[in-house]
Amino acid sequence: MALLKLLNRLFHGPGWLTFVVMGIAAGGVTLCSLNLLSLFQANFNLLATYGAMAAFDGGILQLVELILWGYLALAFYVVFKGCLDVLLVRIHKARDR
């Protein structure tokens, strides 16, 4: 419920705040997804090559962390896309006046 209130205030608040948060979210997507695919491939190769030994040495934990980084990047993207849609609606409304 608090998250919905925060997003509502963000999307329907001042335009400059929405724009700033959109930039922060774009940076978050970039940081979270940077080399994520290559890290997934390296982790899968490690687990495939060394099997249970790699899994017990932290390969599974690393895989879970990579999955969480992926979901965090997705959350940043959703915030970015929401901000973008709200700003575009505002621009179209201002143009139609």
10 within some domain:
no
Domain that holds residue 33: 18-96
Asked whether residue 97 carries a pLDDT value surpassing 80, the answer given is no
pLDDT > 70 in the chain, percent: 100
pLDDT digits (tens, 9 = 90+) for 49-86: 998 898 888 888 988 999 999 999 999 999 999 999 99
Structure letter (DSSP) for residue 59: I
56 within some domain:
yes
67 within some domain:
yes
13 within some domain:
no
Domain count, the chain: 1
Look at residue 7 in the predicted model and tell me its pLDDT.
Answer: 85
CB under 8 Å to 19, separation ≥6 — which residues? 83, 87
Look at residue 54 in the predicted model and tell me its pLDDT.
Answer: 87
48 within some domain:
yes
What is the Cα–Cα distance from 68 to 87, expressed in whole angstroms? 29
Question: Taking residues 1-6, what's their average pLDDT?
Answer: 86
88 within some domain:
yes
